[in-house]
Amino acid sequence: MKNVHLIAACGVGMASLAGMLKEKGFRVTGSDANVYPPMSTQLESLGIRIASPYAAENIRRTRTWWSWERGVAGNPEAEEAARRGVPTLSMPQAVARFFIGERESIVVAGTHGKTTTTALAAWSLFDLGADPSFLVGGVPKNFPVSYRLGQGRHFVIEGDEYDTAYFDKGPKFLHYRPRIVLLTSVEFDHADIYRDLDHVRESFRRLAAIVPPTACSWRAPTTRTSWRWRGMRAAR
């Protein structure tokens, strides 16, 4: 059984990844500077141990590979992993590699409404009997945890436009192999990484550009942005 240690494990994406990895048969541990609900409660219910604060010793107990969230440059655990030359993955890379694979990925993106729309899409497919997998940035009302590994062909995932990791400044959603994109809205946000609204738009255009020609994209009606989807690509 492989061991996985997740740095910043109480983030909504990371805690979901932890649960999915455990279901897949990995031995999962994690660490975070701040351990708090609802994700700390979810991890505890899954029997996943979370260490706090960060310490190099947490890495020395684990042997196989590690995954971490953004913003851990200078973290003692990240530095220990680099010193030892262990394999590492960002959270989006791990999700794509181990769970999305060849499934039909439905990426829900946009400045507002991602979590709600992802939960609605996942529940709709589940209620229709499609047995979907999903990863939501919160705990939905209709499911006990923020993720699900189904046997169906769909994987519904909340596509965050924030950067992937300190070593990968591209948006998380670029890793999710979209076959369908649901775009709720685009406004200026995340001023710590985006210069202006045009910079934000460019990230969503990059998302549109990787949707296969045989797939589809849909944008919710809104007046918040002047550019629109045409076919499979964003109007430039």
Query: DSSP string of 188-199?
Result: ---TTT--SHHH
Domain count, the chain: 2
- pLDDT tens for 181-229 read 999 999 999 999 999 999 999 999 999 999 988 755 555 554 443 334 3
Token pair in block for residue 135: 């990863």
Contacts of 124 (CB under 8 A, 6+ apart): none
Distance linking the first and last C-alpha atoms of the chain: 48
Structural domain that includes position 67? 3-86
Token pair in block for residue 50: 């979370």
What CATH number is attached to the domain comprising 174? 3.40.1190.10
Please tell me whether residues 7 and 75 are part of one structural domain: yes
Out of 44, 64, 86, pick the residue that ends a domain: 86
CA-to-CA distance for 181 and 200, rounded, in angstroms?
Answer: 16
Check residue 168 and give its pLDDT: 85
Burial class (CB in 10 A: 0-12, 13-18, 19+), 192: exposed
Please tell me whether residues 177 and 125 are part of one structural domain: yes
pTM of the full predicted structure? 0.83
- pLDDT tens for 58-99 read 876 655 555 555 445 678 888 888 888 878 888 999 999 999
Please tell me whether residues 20 and 100 are part of one structural domain: no
Contacts of 173 (CB under 8 A, 6+ apart): 92, 107, 109, 159, 160, 161, 207
